[in-house]
Amino acid sequence: MEERITGVMIYYYFVCSRKLWYFCHQINMEDENENVQLGKLLDENSYKRDDKHIEIDGIINIDFIHEKNELHEIKKSKSIEEAGIWQVKYYLYYLKKRNVDGLHGVIDYPLLKKNVDVELSDEDCKKLDDIIKEIISVKNQEYPPKLEEKKICKKCAYYDLCFI
């Protein structure tokens, strides 16, 4: 059976492997964190469009602008921009594997009034094949990966779990 890899897992892979492990093991503390709540608020209020919000297999959860063949992901800050870019690349990859091609992605930063275009190359597809293998390997570990303090730790929903 194909492993269920969600966009959030791809995002966390780039943010912190420990965070990824917690998430894969259904340890979810995000609701208690103000930052994430702000993210959710932004999601609900900042981009009210006529376009469709699509959810596929519980893996893709994104806005789709039909006219432009564009997938949109909303982020509140560019602090972990690379992670957001790969999350959107993964959505494009996931759809491509299911014969939905010719789309491109955009990350919207409403607070910064900016957006970033995301395209998927053949190289990216190969990299995503490897990333998925690595995510599965982290997921299958019995214990979380070794703790390494990062700049983002203080704002992380799992901070108490890692440091207290």
Query: Which of 18, 72, 75, 76 touches ligand SF4 by CB under 6 A?
Result: 18
Query: Which of 19, 43, 59, 91 touches ligand SF4 by CB under 6 A?
Result: 19
Closest CA to 61 of 6, 118, 120, 3: 6
Euclidean distance between CA atoms 60 and 95, whole angstroms: 9
If binding is defined by CB under 6 A, does position 159 make contact with ligand SF4? Answer: yes
The residue among 30 and 51 lying less far from ligand SF4, judged by its C-beta, is 30
Rounded to a whole number of angstroms, the minimum distance from the CB of residue 22 to ligand SF4 is: 6
CB 98 within 8 A of CB 87: no
Rounded to a whole number of angstroms, the minimum distance from the CB of residue 148 to ligand SF4 is: 6
Kindly give, in sequence order, each residue whose CB lies less than 8 Å from that of residue 126, ignoring residues fewer than 6 positions away.
Answer: none
**Token pair belonging to 67:** 């006219």
Phi, psi of 153 (to 5 degrees): -55, -45
Q: How many positions of this chain bind ligand SF4 (CB under 6 A)?
A: 11
Stretch that binds ligand SF4, among 13-21, 27-35, 42-50, 60-68 (CB under 6 A): 13-21
Rounded to a whole number of angstroms, the minimum distance from the CB of residue 12 to ligand SF4 is: 9
Distances, alpha carbon 93 to alpha carbons 10, 113, 140, in Å: 12, 27, 23
Euclidean distance between CA atoms 91 and 99, whole angstroms: 12
If binding is defined by CB under 6 A, does position 8 make contact with ligand SF4? Answer: no
Tallying the residues shown for the chain, one arrives at 164
If binding is defined by CB under 6 A, does position 131 make contact with ligand SF4? Answer: no
User: Which parts of this chain interact with ligand SF4 (CB under 6 A)?
Assistant: 16, 18-19, 147, 150, 152-153, 156, 158-159, 162
